Amino acid sequence: MANTKDYAMREMIYDQCFGTGREYTREQLMAIVNRKLEDRGMLPIQSRTTFSQDITEMNAKFFKVFGQEGIVWEDRHKKRYYRYRDGFDSIYNRELTENEIEKLQEVRSLLQGFKGMSEFGWIDQMLTRLDQNIMSKQKEIARFEGGTPWDAEFLMPLFKAIRNRQVVDVEYRKDFRDAESITLHPYFLKQYWRRWYLMAQQEGKDRIEAYPLICMSAVKANNEVKFKPTKTSFKQYFKHLVGVTVPPETTVEHIELWADISLYPYLYSYPISETQKLEIEGDRNIKVTLDVMVNYELIQELMFYGDRLVVKSPVYLRDHMQERLEWCKQAYKDVEGDSLNIENLEPQLFAFNYLHHDSNDWKCIDYRISLGTMIMTDSIEDLGIEWSYIRTCLERIVNHPRTVIELGEDEEPTKIELKKVGDMMDITVTPNSQVSKDRLPFSGFARCKDVVRELYNGLLEMANAYPTDYVDGCPFTRDVVQRALKSEIIESYLKEVRV
Question: 426-455 pLDDT, tens per residue?
Answer: 888 887 755 444 456 777 888 888 899 999
Helix or strand run (H / E) with residue 332:
helix 315-333
Nearest to 425 by CA among 469, 372, 357, 363: 372
**Residue 168 confidence (pLDDT) above 70:** yes
pLDDT band at 106 (very low <50, low <70, confident <90, very high): low
Going by DSSP bridges, is the β-strand pair 208-212/195-202 parallel, antiparallel, or unpaired?
antiparallel
**Residue 216: pLDDT band by 50, 70, 90 thresholds?**
confident
Q: Are residues 451 and 354 in the same domain?
A: yes
Clarify whether residues 192 and 277 are in a common domain.
no
The answer on 379 and 441 residing in a single domain is yes
Domain holding 289, by residue range, is 253-333
356 and 491: one domain?
A: yes
Convert the pLDDT of each residue in 220-241 to its tens digit.
Answer: 999 999 999 888 888 888 889 8
In a domain, 341, yes or no: no
Q: Do residues 325 and 401 share a domain?
A: no
Would residue 298 count as lying in a domain? yes
- Please indicate, yes or no, if residue 247 is contained in any of the structural domains: no
Residues 225 and 325 in one domain: no
Domain count of the fold of the chain: 5
Provide φ and ψ at 429, rounded to 5°: -105, 120
Nearest to 192 by CA among 265, 97, 301: 301
What does each C-alpha distance from 340 to 81, 331, 349, 420, 468 come to in angstroms?
Answer: 48, 7, 19, 10, 45
**114 occurs within a structural domain:** yes
The rounded distance, in Å, linking the Cα atoms of 402 and 422 is 12
The reply to whether 405 and 462 lie within a common domain is: yes
The CATH number assigned to the domain holding 65 equals 3.90.1150
Average pLDDT, stretch 79-95? 79
Q: Residue 175: helix, strand or coil by DSSP? A: coil
Which among 210, 237, 264 is the end of a domain?
A: 237
In the predicted model, is pLDDT for residue 122 greater than 60?
no
Overall average pLDDT of the 32-40 stretch: 83
The three-point CA angle 167-169-173 to 5° equals 135
- Of 57, 84, 111, the domain-final residue: 84
Residues 413 and 447 in one domain: yes
Residue 270 and residue 361 in one domain: no
The answer to whether the peptide bond before residue 431 is cis (omega within 30 degrees of 0) is no
Residues 156 and 131 in one domain: no
Q: Do 355 and 485 belong to one domain?
A: yes
User: Do residues 446 and 425 lie in contact, with contact meaning Cβ atoms separated by under 8 Å?
Assistant: yes
| pLDDT tens for each residue of 292-343 | 998 888 888 888 888 888 999 898 888 888 888 887 776 666 655 445 555 5
Query: Is residue 144 in some structural domain?
Result: no
Comparing 122-126, 173-177, 270-274, the range with the smallest average pLDDT is 122-126
d(CA 448, CA 342): 13
Helices (H) and strands (E) in the chain, counts: 14, 19
- The answer on 179 and 128 residing in a single domain is no
The whole-angstrom separation of Cα 130 and Cα 288 is 37
pLDDT > 90: what percent of the chain? Answer: 11
